[in-house]
């Protein structure tokens, strides 16, 4: 039976008042204690952090070691070992006498991450045009066809998830394990930023158009075009964050 542990708002730095938008939730399943506790804790926490909407809330996300221990059903030792690994990977940060917080990037850092992802995703698209199966490309087409009739506004949250799935699929279709590894630890920030920006400046409609053009290049098995379109698409997000991403630097406490 799967038990899901949710961090309540009281555990978030700067918890919202009743009238404000509730903070993000960290959902972590109770661990299978037949395997390495530290390894399982690390994997569960990483998955949960990656799934969080960390930029959709102004407050910072503080992780409570005791509550995580209780929620995962293990002692604090594997939690601490997992946190050490997550800190080394840049997912969390320890603040002396204050606790452990999920890392939120500055506007400048986010733009840099998106720029790097543009290079990685464009190469993935190039490889996908050569290596992707007809079935995988057809699945991408099916994913986007559901949103091409101009009704994305009413289904924006649903399209946001499809948008994330599209980019993950391109990486997978590249058939390059190293590319997948290189993008994994950037994905927490890319996922969160894409979920926020898809609601801004009619980006959903432009995103659908871009995706359909990329799919067409994949169907034509045109690696040069697929690479260029994927790069331009992701660099468009970087330009958008550069112009409209000042909210990322508001209310920061880097102490």
Which domains, and CATH codes, for the chain? 4-102 (1.10.10.10), 107-248 (1.20.120.530)
Q: Give residue 161's Cα distance to chain centre.
A: 10
Collapse the DSSP code of 221 into the 3-class scheme (helix H, G, I; strand E, B; otherwise coil) and give the result. coil
**Report for 44-48, 56-60, 172-176: range of highest mean pLDDT:** 172-176
Q: What is the pTM of this model?
A: 0.76
Please report, for residues 6, 75, 93, 144, 241, the alpha-carbon distance to residue 72 in angstroms, rounded to integers and kept in the order given: 11, 9, 20, 37, 36
C-alpha 124/C-alpha 143 separation (Å) is: 18
Under the banding of pLDDT at 50, 70 and 90, the label for residue 5 is: very low
Backbone conformation region of residue 150, classed left if phi is above 0, alpha if psi is from -120 to 50, else beta: left
pLDDT at 225 over 90: yes
Mean pLDDT of 227-232: 98
CA 134, 139, 144 angle in degrees (round to 5)? 130
Mean pLDDT of 195-215: 90
Q: Work out the end-to-end distance of the chain between its first and last CA atoms, rounded to an integer number of angstroms.
A: 41
Residues 6+ apart with CB under 8 A from 19: none
Q: What is the pLDDT of residues 67-103, one digit of tens each?
A: 999 888 888 999 999 999 999 988 999 998 889 999 9
Between 17 and 77, where is the model more confident? 77
């Amino acid at each position: 039976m799967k038990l899901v542990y949710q961090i309540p708002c009281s555990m978030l730095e700067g918890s919202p008042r009743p009238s404000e938008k509730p903070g993000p939730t960290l959902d972590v399943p109770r661990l299978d204690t037949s395997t390495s506790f530290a390894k399982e804790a690390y994997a569960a926490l990483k998955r949960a952090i990656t799934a969080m909407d960390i930029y959709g809330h102004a407050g910072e996300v503080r992780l409570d070691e005791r509550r995580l221990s209780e929620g995962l059903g293990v002692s604090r030792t594997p939690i601490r070992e997992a946190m050490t690994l997550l800190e080394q990977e840049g997912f969390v940060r320890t603040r002396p006498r204050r606790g452990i917080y999920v890392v939120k990037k500055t506007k400048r850092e986010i733009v840099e991450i998106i720029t790097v992802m543009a290079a990685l995703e464009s190469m993935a698209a190039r490889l996908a045009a050569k290596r992707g199966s007809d079935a995988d490309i057809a699945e991408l087409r099916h994913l986007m066809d559901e949103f091409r009739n101009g009704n994305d506004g009413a289904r924006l949250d649903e399209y946001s998830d499809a948008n994330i799935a599209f980019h993950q699929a391109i990486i997978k279709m590249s058939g390059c394990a190293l590319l997948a590894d290189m993008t994994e630890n950037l994905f927490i920030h890319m996922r969160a930023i894409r979920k926020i920006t898809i609601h801004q400046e009619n980006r959903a409609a432009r995103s659908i158009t871009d995706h359909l053009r990329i799919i067409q290049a994949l169907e034509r098995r045109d690696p040069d075009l697929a690479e260029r379109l994927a790069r331009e698409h992701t660099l468009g997000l970087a330009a958008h964050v550069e112009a409209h991403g000042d909210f990322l630097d508001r209310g920061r406490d880097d102490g």
